[in-house]
Structures are given as C-alpha cells and as structure tokens.
C-alpha cells in the first residue's frame, strides 16, 4: 500500500496546484484578499458606514498583505497587474474614507509597499 492519495473521487473541476500556472494562483490569492478587504470595509452592505462587518483593523491587515503580494509579484502578473493594482488602490482609498482619523499620506494600509495613495 502506498501513501499516494487517490484522486479518483475528486470532482472533474478540481485541479492539482501543480497544474495551475503561477499567475493564476497569484491572481486568485489577490482576488481573495480584495474580497476580504471589501467585506471588512463594509462595502458589500448598502450602507458601509453602518455595516456590522466594518472592521478597520482587520481591513488594514488584509490590504497590507494584498499590497505586499502585488508589489512582490507585479512582474509576473502581465495584463492582470493593472486591474489588480486599481483594485488595491480603490480599497486603500475606501479605507481612508472609512477612517474617522485618516492616516497621513504614505502611512495607510499597504502604502509602505505602494507609496502614498490620495
């Protein structure tokens, strides 16, 4: 008996990570971080300012992680880089708007990686 997992019971749409191109893995991770940040900024709700999900501390962490990922992998993202960067900047701006005392330019989430966002 071997320790090799049997993949015969996996659904047809499940792929091994080894078969997925790096740009797709990075892009998926970026989209997941963007979605998480948007949720934590309350952007999925009709009134983000009154959202039960609003958690700026958590949003800061996720946006900073996203900025690090984007900055470190931008050369590999090709045509995906532009839209991902735009999404990151939109989240950074939304964070600034949601903050009662906005960070100084260059001090906001992820700005140590991306530079100031106004």
pLDDT in tens, 21-49: 999 999 999 999 999 999 999 998 888 88
What is the signed CA dihedral for 100, 106, 112, 118, rounded to 10 degrees?
80
- Three-point CA angle 115, 102, 50, nearest 5°: 125
Please tell me the predicted confidence (pLDDT) of residue 105: 92
Residue 33 and residue 9: Cα distance in Å, rounded? Answer: 30
For residue 1, is pLDDT > 80? no
Residue 3 has pLDDT above 70, yes or no: no
Position 118 scores a pLDDT of 87
In this model, does residue 5 exceed pLDDT 80?
no
**Contact criterion met (CB below 8 Å) for 88 and 27:** no
């Amino acid at each position: 008996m071997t320790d090799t997992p049997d993949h015969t019971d996996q659904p047809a749409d499940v792929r091994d990570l080894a078969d997925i191109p790096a740009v797709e893995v990075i892009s998926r991770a970026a989209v997941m971080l963007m979605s998480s940040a948007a949720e934590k900024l309350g952007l999925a709700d009709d009134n983000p300012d009154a959202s039960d999900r609003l958690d700026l501390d958590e949003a800061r962490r996720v946006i900073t992680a996203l900025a690090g990922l984007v900055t470190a992998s931008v050369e590999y993202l090709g045509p995906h880089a532009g839209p991902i960067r735009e999404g990151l900047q939109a989240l950074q701006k939304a964070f600034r708007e949601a903050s009662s005392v906005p960070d100084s330019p260059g001090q906001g989430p992820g700005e140590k990686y991306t530079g100031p966002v106004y």
